């Protein structure tokens, strides 16, 4: 069964809604407390980026629950300005996260899989997955 | 290391008076650069830097003055250093910079 | 990231012990526990999670509010955990960079190193110690087929790798001058043009170049804003400053340098240095130039190489083994 739903991110409090849905789904899948919090934080970071930079986008949730794997897929999709230099934003210490450990490198650490595609002027799509242990 | 340099700027018509106090070294030179360069790049002004309260200047500091001097030459402005203390003045003399930057000296007043 | 399942019991026991005894031993064990956890990459939020579970086991009747407050704390700690991981990763990168700089520094030392020439009747002592990994001072000896000795001493203003690159520029420019054009004023003039073209606006180089002719005992020299050295006149038993005014290299592109000449007689000495020697801080104040000379006088009677090394050790001690700037000292004595 692969349930899929999405949340629009246009205002700051949409971030909260996305966190809630993510946490509820994670809990239903059997993720432990700590992993639930990590997933919520990752969603928060992704949604915040959309809110701050793209102004408009969505977070997509997919449940992965088949015989072999169990996990959650989170997508962050926007039609914003895109990222000029992906390697730069993926570097630790890059200025927007400013020593807070967050930013995209932080999302990568919170989740198990991380993929990013971006085209300046067109938009950005980030795909992440976390597996139930 | 402490940030040991105070910078105060007073603008009067086409003159910028920059008052410095403390030490100009590798740590404080960026602060001086930030203050001087924008003026040095402006056209036709006089930048008067008061070094009365500067008791130490090293080669990094000299580098900032050299950059500023080069910028003023390009923008047609003038750089002048006033009330330069002995030890600092010596540095400008040895490096020959006193022949290309206008330097006014003064004997330290008081006892 | 590991689950702390195995250590939950351990944590619970330590926690219980502290709650019961409130002794320092338990707190010390807490410190050991956290160190071990960090070694295993356990993040702060996992510690809080373990704490929550331990609390529930120890106090099943604990008010729900306390439970909720701990969940709140867990969420708050996730950012700290991320910051810590970023810090660790940056620390690794820094170590990598440091070792790359080490490699660059030894390459610099090898590529730019100079041999002390053996010239009859001349004793040469030279020492150059960097304050950090890469040396911003530079000295070079060059001899030609006629036995003339060229001595260059320079201080590149600017630190680290850009400074080292500037030095390579000097060295290779110098090596490329034809043998019959090695007059100090010309060398500085040409070098100045090279440096001015290639170096960033705030970088500059001070340099002294001397040319000694053993057949005539004449020492010709020019200076580009370099810290003045000393000359020892053996007959008069007097030390004099080697004055030669000139503009530092790299500031203006059309500069000429005045050339001076002195005669070097028996037991006379030429002492060259960089401002790492004269900018020594003694306690709260700066050393005066005559004090620097006093130190040199103390050891001047010794063989040149021994003298420069002892002078260095003296200044090293004065600065508490903490050099502020690169230290370079050259002593040349005419023996015959």
Identify all chain C residues contacting B95, using CB atoms and an 8 Å cutoff.
Answer: 204, 206, 225, 247-248
Q: Using the beta-carbon criterion (under 8 Å), do C279 and B58 form an inter-chain contact?
A: yes
Residue C297 has pLDDT above 90, yes or no: yes
How far apart, in whole angstroms, are the C-alpha atoms of residue A81 and residue C262? 70
Same domain, C65 and C139: no
**pLDDT (mean) for A39-62:** 93
Q: Hey, what are C201's tokens? A: 């606006």
How far apart, in whole angstroms, are the C-alpha atoms of residue A86 and residue A117? 9
Pairing of strands A70-78, C327-334: unpaired
Residue B19 to chain C, least CA–CA distance (Å): 21
Task: Confirm whether pTM is higher than 0.90.
Answer: no
The winner for highest mean pLDDT among A68-72, A113-117, B59-63, C155-159 is: A113-117
Same domain, C131 and C214: yes
User: Which pLDDT belongs to residue C3?
Assistant: 40
Residue A58 to chain C, least CA–CA distance (Å): 23
User: Which pLDDT belongs to residue C130?
Assistant: 86
Any domain includes C103: no
What digits encode the pLDDT tens for the residues C258-296?
999 999 999 999 999 998 888 777 777 777 888 889 999
Residue C133 has pLDDT above 80, yes or no: no
C126 pLDDT band (50/70/90 cuts)? very high
Lowest mean pLDDT across C60-64, C179-183, C313-317: C179-183
The partner residue sitting opposite A93, judged by closest CB among C78, C80, C86, is C86
Residue A2 has pLDDT above 70, yes or no: no
**Residue ranges of domains in chain B, CATH in brackets:** 5-105 (3.30.750.24)
User: Which pLDDT belongs to residue A29?
Assistant: 93
What does the mean pLDDT of chain B come to? 87
Residue A36 has pLDDT above 80, yes or no: yes
C112 CB neighbour count, 10 Å cutoff: 17
B1 pLDDT band (50/70/90 cuts)? very low
Any domain includes C104: no
User: Which pLDDT belongs to residue C181?
Assistant: 62
Any domain includes C102: no
Domain that holds residue A98: 4-131
Same domain, C143 and C232: yes
Q: Is A43 an 8 Å CB contact of chain C?
A: no
> Reduced to 3 states, what is the DSSP secondary structure of residue C32?
helix
Any domain includes C97: no
C18 pLDDT band (50/70/90 cuts)? very high
How far apart, in whole angstroms, are the C-alpha atoms of residue C219 and residue C232? 13
Same domain, C77 and C184: no
User: Which pLDDT belongs to residue B106?
Assistant: 61
Domain that holds residue C309: 114-334
Identify all chain A residues contacting C80, using CB atoms and an 8 Å cutoff.
Answer: 101
User: Which pLDDT belongs to residue A5?
Assistant: 93
Lowest mean pLDDT across A3-17, A101-115, C178-192: C178-192
CB pairs under 8 A between B and C: 53
A1 pLDDT band (50/70/90 cuts)? very low
How far apart, in whole angstroms, are the C-alpha atoms of residue A106 and residue A121? 25
B111 pLDDT band (50/70/90 cuts)? very low
Any domain includes C172: yes
CB B5 within 8 A of CB B20: yes
Same domain, C12 and C142: no
CATH number at residue A9: 3.30.565.10
Query: Residues of chain A with pLDDT > 90: what percent?
Result: 71
The partner residue sitting opposite B63, judged by closest CB among C155, C157, C252, is C157
Q: What is the DSSP letter of B94?
A: H
Q: Hey, what are A45's tokens? A: 């970071």
What does the mean pLDDT of chain C come to? 87
**pLDDT (mean) for C195-199:** 81
Any domain includes C98: no
Residue C70 has pLDDT above 50, yes or no: yes
- Mark which of C92, C123, C158 sits at the end of a domain: C92
Number of domains in chain C: 2
Task: Count CA atoms within 13 Å of residue A16 on its CB side.
Answer: 3
User: Which pLDDT belongs to residue C237?
Assistant: 94
CB C186 within 8 A of CB C196: no
What does the mean pLDDT of chain A come to? 90
CB C334 within 8 A of CB C217: yes
Same domain, C170 and C313: yes
Residue C89 has pLDDT above 80, yes or no: yes
Contacts from A84-88 at CB under 8 Å and sequence distance 24+? Answer: A84/A120, A86/A116, A86/A118
How far apart, in whole angstroms, are the C-alpha atoms of residue C37 and residue C29? 12
Q: What is the DSSP letter of C115?
A: P
CA distances from C244 to A79, B93, C217 (A): 67, 11, 19
Any domain includes C167: yes
Residue B45: Cβ-neighbour burial (10 angstroms; 0-12, 13-18, 19+): buried
Residue C321 to chain B, least CA–CA distance (Å): 18
C159 pLDDT band (50/70/90 cuts)? low
Number of domains in chain A: 1
Same domain, C196 and C288: yes
Same domain, C239 and C295: yes
């Amino acid at each position: 069964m692969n349930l899929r739903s999405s949340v629009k991110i246009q205002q700051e409090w949409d971030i909260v809604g996305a966190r809630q849905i993510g946490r509820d789904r994670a809990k239903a899948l059997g993720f432990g407390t700590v992993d639930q919090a990590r997933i919520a934080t990752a969603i928060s970071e992704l949604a915040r980026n959309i809110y701050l930079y793209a102004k408009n986008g969505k977070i997509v949730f997919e449940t992965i629950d088949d015989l072999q794997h169990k996990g959650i897929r989170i997508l962050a999709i926007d039609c914003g300005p895109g990222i000029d230099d992906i390697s730069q934003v993926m570097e630790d210490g890059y200025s927007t996260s400013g020593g807070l450990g967050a930013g995209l490198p932080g999302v990568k650490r919170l989740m198990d899989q991380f993929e990013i595609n971006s085209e300046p002027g067109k938009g950005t799509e980030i795909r992440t997955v976390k597996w139930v242990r | 290391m402490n940030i040991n340099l105070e910078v105060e700027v007073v603008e009067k018509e086409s003159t910028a008076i920059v008052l410095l106090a403390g030490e100009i070294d590798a740590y404080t030179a960026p602060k001086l650069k930030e203050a001087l360069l924008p003026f040095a790049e402006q056209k036709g002004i006089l930048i008067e830097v008061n070094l009365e309260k500067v008791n130490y200047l090293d080669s990094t500091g000299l580098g900032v003055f050299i950059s500023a001097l080069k910028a003023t030459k390009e923008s047609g402005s003038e750089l002048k250093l006033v009330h330069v203390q002995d030890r600092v003045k010596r540095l400008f003399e040895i490096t020959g910079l006193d022949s290309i930057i206008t330097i006014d000296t003064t004997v330290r007043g008081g006892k | 990231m590991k689950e702390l399942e195995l250590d939950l019991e351990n944590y619970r026991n330590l926690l219980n012990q502290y709650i019961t005894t409130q002794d320092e031993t338990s707190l010390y064990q807490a410190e050991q526990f956290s160190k071990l956890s960090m070694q295993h990459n356990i993040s702060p939020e996992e510690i809080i999670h373990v704490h929550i579970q331990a609390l529930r086991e120890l106090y099943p009747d604990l008010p729900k509010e306390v439970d909720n407050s701990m969940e709140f704390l867990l969420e708050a700690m996730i950012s700290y955990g991320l910051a810590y991981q970023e810090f660790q990763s940056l620390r690794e990168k820094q170590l990598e960079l440091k070792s790359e700089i080490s490699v660059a520094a030894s390459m610099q030392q090898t590529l730019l190193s100079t041999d002390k020439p053996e010239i009859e009747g001349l004793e040469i002592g030279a020492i150059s110690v960097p304050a950090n990994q890469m040396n911003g001072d530079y000295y070079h000896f060059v001899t030609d087929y006629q036995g003339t000795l060229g001595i260059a001493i320079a201080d590149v203003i600017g630190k680290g790798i850009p400074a080292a690159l500037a030095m390579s520029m000097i060295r290779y420019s110098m090596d490329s001058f034809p043998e019959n054009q090695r007059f100090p004023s010309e060398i500085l003039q040409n070098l100045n043009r090279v440096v001015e073209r290639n170096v960033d606006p705030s970088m500059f180089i001070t340099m002294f170049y001397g040319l000694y002719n053993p057949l005539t005992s004449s020492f010709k020299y020019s200076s580009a804003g370099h810290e003045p050295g000393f000359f020892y006149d053996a007959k008069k038993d007097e030390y004099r400053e080697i004055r030669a005014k000139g503009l530092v290299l790299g500031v203006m592109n059309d500069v000429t340098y005045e050339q001076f000449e002195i005669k070097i007689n028996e037991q006379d000495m030429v002492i060259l240095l960089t401002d790492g020697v004269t900018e020594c801080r003694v306690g709260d104040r700066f050393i005066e130039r005559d004090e620097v000379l006093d130190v040199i006088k103390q050891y001047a009677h010794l063989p040149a190489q021994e003298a420069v090394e002892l002078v260095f050790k003296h200044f090293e001690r004065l600065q508490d083994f903490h050099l502020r700037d690169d230290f370079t000292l050259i002593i040349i004595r005419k023996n015959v």
